[in-house]
């Protein structure tokens, strides 16, 4: 038996969700099931192609819903889980009991662990550490910005590799390790060590770049790195540099999109009032109440900058 699992690529929770769900399928279906993984990214164009669902079992974890009739399992926890109202209606009509959604969970991994234990009797207790850290990382529940930015835990180090590695091969290597090994052991894996060193140097440089580029007004940190080819950065750096901030808005580019990232400070002294997913949905994006993003086509930098400026104004009005 062959299982195809589509997961949110370059995301700790996406990788952990794929690893946990793989273990569940092995226990529920066949210990000898073989797995093929496909990393998914939010783009301004079509997300799903028919050929993606080529397994005997096909699953999507930590990513948007698909109406493809070959989809067997689906788990997601994002507010913006559906590409259209029609997709949401399609999901509501599903009677399989295997397409599950709950935006109240901090992480999709914890959601999968809860459902597979309560409904299907799968314990997976050796994966408790993975579930715990997926909740911390995806739910921005680090005790401080220093813990997150200074990479003091194995999970933070792995997040750096997962988010920064080129392509999906390294992420899928991590998924396979997550199925069996503790996080400290994964960090010590030779492949991980080879990836970590240059990414850590880049991480340190990104702190300096954001320190120089950032503008701070009305408790909103904003910056534009579209000219630097800086595809990603630790999302907690703005709050590390500006601990009194409430929000951050940034514009960046990658090989497949122009991106506006919008976030809120988990350690803000004042509770954020805006739902960031709802704001991003106005521009075709989405996410969670406390963090969201918008994907624009490659080269659509002016459109992304206009959206970022409008969002920055909306968020800044909270401090007016």
Which tens digit of pLDDT belongs to each residue from 170-222?
A: 999 999 999 999 999 999 999 999 999 999 999 999 999 999 999 999 999 99
Q: How far apart are CA 11 and CA 163, in angstroms?
A: 6
Verify that 74 and 159 share a domain, yes or no.
yes
Q: How far apart are CA 179 and CA 176, in angstroms?
A: 5
**pLDDT confidence bin for 43, thresholds 50/70/90:** confident
User: Can you tell me whether residue 162 is helix, strand or coil?
Assistant: helix
Verify that 146 and 289 share a domain, yes or no.
no
Average pLDDT, rounded, for the chain: 94
Question: Residue 238's domain is classified under what CATH number?
Answer: 3.10.310.30
Residue 203 lies in a domain: no
- pLDDT tens, residue by residue, 215-247: 999 999 999 999 997 877 899 999 999 999 999
Task: Quote the number of domains for the chain.
Answer: 2
Residue 204 lies in a domain: no
Q: Show the domain range for 182.
A: 2-191
Residue 197 lies in a domain: no
Question: Residue 165's domain is classified under what CATH number?
Answer: 3.90.1640
Q: DSSP letter at 41?
A: -
Verify that 221 and 183 share a domain, yes or no.
no
Q: What is the pLDDT of residue 319?
A: 72
* Displacement of CA 159 from its chain's centroid (Å): 10
Residue 219 lies in a domain: yes
Residue 252 lies in a domain: yes
């Amino acid at each position: 038996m062959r299982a195809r699992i589509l997961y949110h690529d370059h995301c700790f929770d996406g990788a952990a969700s794929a690893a946990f769900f793989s273990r569940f399928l092995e226990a529920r279906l066949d210990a000898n099931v073989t797995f093929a993984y496909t990393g998914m990214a939010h783009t301004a164009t079509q997300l799903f192609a028919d050929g993606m669902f080529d397994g005997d079992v096909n699953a999507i974890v930590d990513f948007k819903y698909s109406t493809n009739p070959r989809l067997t399992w689906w788990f997601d926890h994002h507010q913006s889980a559906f590409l259209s109202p029609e997709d949401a209606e399609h999901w509501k009509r599903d009677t399989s009991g295997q397409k599950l959604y709950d935006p109240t969970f901090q992480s999709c991994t914890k959601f999968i662990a809860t459902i597979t234990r309560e409904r299907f009797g799968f314990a997976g207790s050796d994966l408790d550490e993975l579930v715990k850290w997926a909740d911390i990382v995806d739910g921005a529940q680090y005790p401080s910005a220093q813990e997150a930015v200074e990479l003091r835990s194995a999970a933070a180090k792995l997040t750096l590799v997962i988010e920064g590695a080129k392509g999906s091969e390294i992420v899928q290597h991590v998924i396979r390790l997550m199925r069996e090994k503790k996080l400290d052991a994964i960090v010590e894996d030779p492949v991980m060590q080879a990836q970590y060193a240059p990414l850590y140097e880049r991480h340190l440089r990104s702190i300096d770049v954001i320190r120089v580029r950032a503008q701070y007004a009305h408790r909103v940190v904003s910056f534009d790195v579209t000219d630097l080819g800086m595809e990603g950065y630790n999302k907690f750096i703005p709050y590390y540099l500006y601990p009194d901030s409430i929000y951050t808005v940034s514009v960046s580019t990658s090989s497949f999109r122009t991106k506006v990232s919008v976030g809120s400070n988990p350690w803000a002294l004042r509770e954020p009032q805006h739902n960031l997913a709802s704001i991003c949905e106005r521009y075709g994006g989405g996410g969670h109440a406390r963090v969201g993003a918008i994907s624009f086509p490659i080269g659509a930098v002016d459109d992304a900058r206009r959206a970022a400026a409008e969002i920055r104004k909306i968020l800044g009005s909270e401090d007016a």
